[in-house]
Amino acid sequence: MKSWFITGASSGLGLSMTRKLLGRGDLVHATARRPDAMRDLVQRHGDRLEIIELELTDTLSLRQQVDRAFASRRIDVVVSNAGYGLLGAAEELSDAQIDRQIATNLTASIQLIRAALPHLRTQGGGRILQVSSEGGQVAYPNFSLYHATKWGIEGFVEAVAQEVAPFGIEFTLIEPGPTGTGFGAALDRAAEDPIYHGTPAGDVRRAIAEGNFVIKGDVERTADAMIAAGDAVKPARRVALGSAAYDNIERELLRRLEELKAQRDVAYAADQA
C-alpha cells in the first residue's frame, strides 16, 4: 500500500488516478477546488482519502497543507497534476490571463515541489510525478503561454532532479498528448483579434472551435500509465503518453537534432582560439 499526494484531483487525470489508487487499496491526499465532485469517493473510501480544498496559487496555504499531509504519514508519490490551458495569440492575451497561467501552471508546480522536497529528503526519498505535456517539448500557435509554463517546468525539474538525486528523490515528467480530459472545454480564451484570422493561430483556433482537433488519448489508460510510472523501480525521466505525443515529440526532436548538427562548425568556431 502506497500513499499519494495528488493536486487537481477533482477532474480529469487526477480524478481517474484517485479512483484507481483507492480501488487498489492505496491512501490518497487529494487537493481540489471543487471537493463536492469527490463526494462519492469520500463515502466509499473516507478512511483512505483526505480531500484538501486548496487554491494552489496561495503559496502559504499550499506549504501548510503539504506540511500537514507529510506530518500524518510517509508520502511515497507526489503528483503535480493541476493546470489548465490558455488559448490565444501572444498579443491577444491580457496581462491578467498571462499572470494567472504562469501562477497556476508554473509557479504553483514549482512551489509544490519546493514544499515537498524537505519532507521527502527527511523520510529518505520518494518520487514526484510532474504532469507536463507533449507541449513541454513541441509548440503550437495560440498556446504560447501554456508552452512557456510547460517548457519552464521541464527545465526546473531537470535541474532539481540532479540536486536531490543523492537523497533518493526521483522525478518523472509526464507528457500526454491530446487526451479526453475536458482540457479543450476548460480553456481560458483570449478575445480574438481579426488580424489573426487567416494565420496559423486562427487555423488552430478554428480547429478547436469546430471540434477538428484530433483527440486520441484515453483518460483511463493514461491514468494507468501514470500510476505505473509512480510504481516503477527505475523510473524514466520522461514518459510520453499517447501515439500523438510520441510521434510529435519524436518528429520535433529529430528536426532540432538535424538543425543542431548542421551548425556544428559554427558552434565550434565560437570557442577561444
Catalytic residue (choose from 3, 10, 133, 150): 150
* C-alpha cell, 270: 565560437
User: Annotated catalytic, 2?
Assistant: no
| DSSP H stretches of helix in 91-171 | 95-101, 108-122, 144-164
User: Annotated catalytic, 146?
Assistant: yes
Q: Find, among 48, 128, 133, the residue nearest to 38 by Cα.
A: 48
Burial class for 63, CB neighbours closer than 10 Å (0-12, 13-18, 19+): middle
Catalytic residue (choose from 3, 80, 144, 146): 146
Tell the residue number behind the cell numbers 522525478, with chain if given. Answer: 171
* C-alpha cell, 95: 496581462
User: Annotated catalytic, 246?
Assistant: no
- The CA distances from residue 169 to 89, 165, 174, 255, 261, in Å, are 38, 5, 16, 33, 34
Catalytic residue (choose from 132, 133, 144, 196): 132
Task: Quote the longest CA-to-CA distance of the chain.
Answer: 71
Q: How far apart are CA 165 and CA 172, in angstroms?
A: 12
Instruction: Give me the active site residues, please.
Output: 132, 146, 150
